[in-house]
A and B are shown apart, each in its own frame.
Chain A
Amino acid sequence: ETGVTQSPTHLIKTRGQQVTLRCSSQSGHNTVSWYQQALGQGPQFIFQYYREEENGRGNFPPRFSGLQFPNYSSELNVNALELDDSALYLCASSSQSVANEKLFFGSGTQLSVL
């Protein structure tokens, strides 16, 4: 049990729709990172939020966007869904935005785009 909770656990959408995924970070953590894990692959970094600001972004298009709230919880929004967006979306919280900081992952949201 990492203390990181994600909702919903599963979601089915159709191509072109929009989706919002939510993450509550572990108590005391001010940094949230989002990852996409396609079937049979390792997680791929989408972006990180530190103290409510985007603090680094991976190779994902602008239709992937996020927010972090004053309580450090976070949302991942994906617009104009494509079939290839089907994946497990993981959020990870940490107490600092520094290298080698221990990441605590949630159980993920499994998104299926039909």
Chain B
Amino acid sequence: TQLLEQSPQFLSIQEGENLTVYCNSSSVFSSLQWYRQEPGEGPVLLVTVVTGGEVKKLKRLTFQFGDARKDSSLHITAAQPGDTGLYLCAGPSWVFNNDMRFGAGTRLTVKP
């Protein structure tokens, strides 16, 4: 069923702290994407990781794709209030690769 489980479900931290959120599956994915969704808005794509073991950096955000392509992590350094939002991971279905399977997300709150 290609379920993606994200943890933690909720995370509340102070500005300046570091954090890591996780996206795990028992299934192999050809790629994984990370999105951020703010209240009242649709998800916005942050990154796509394709190769097992791949690491991508986007300013203070570091994304890693597991060697076995079953998991991914997002690390944020020195979090800022503007990082607040729902972080979603998603991967393409085996059956129809334009069907993106989303996890339930990690809701991050960064307090000033």
Contact = CB atoms under 8 A, between A and B. Distances in A.
B40 A107 contact: yes
Contacts, number: 67
Given A42-B90, A42-B103, A42-B105, A99 B42 contact: no
Given A42-B88, A44-B102, A105 B44 contact: yes
Contacts of B105: 41-42
A98 B92 CA distance: 10
Contact of B98 (A2, A33, A40, A105): A33
A2 B104 CA distance: 23
Interface in B32-78: 33, 40-45, 48, 50
Interface string A87-109: 00010100001111111011110
B9 to A, nearest CB: 9
Q: Which of B4, B42, B93 has the most CB of A within 10 A?
A: B42
Contacts of B97: 98-99
Interface residues of B, number: 26
Main secondary structure of the interface of A (DSSP, over half): loop
Contacts of A97: 98
B17 interface: no
8 contacts: A43-B90, A45-B99, A45-B100, A98-B97, A99-B30, A99-B98, A101-B98, A105-B43
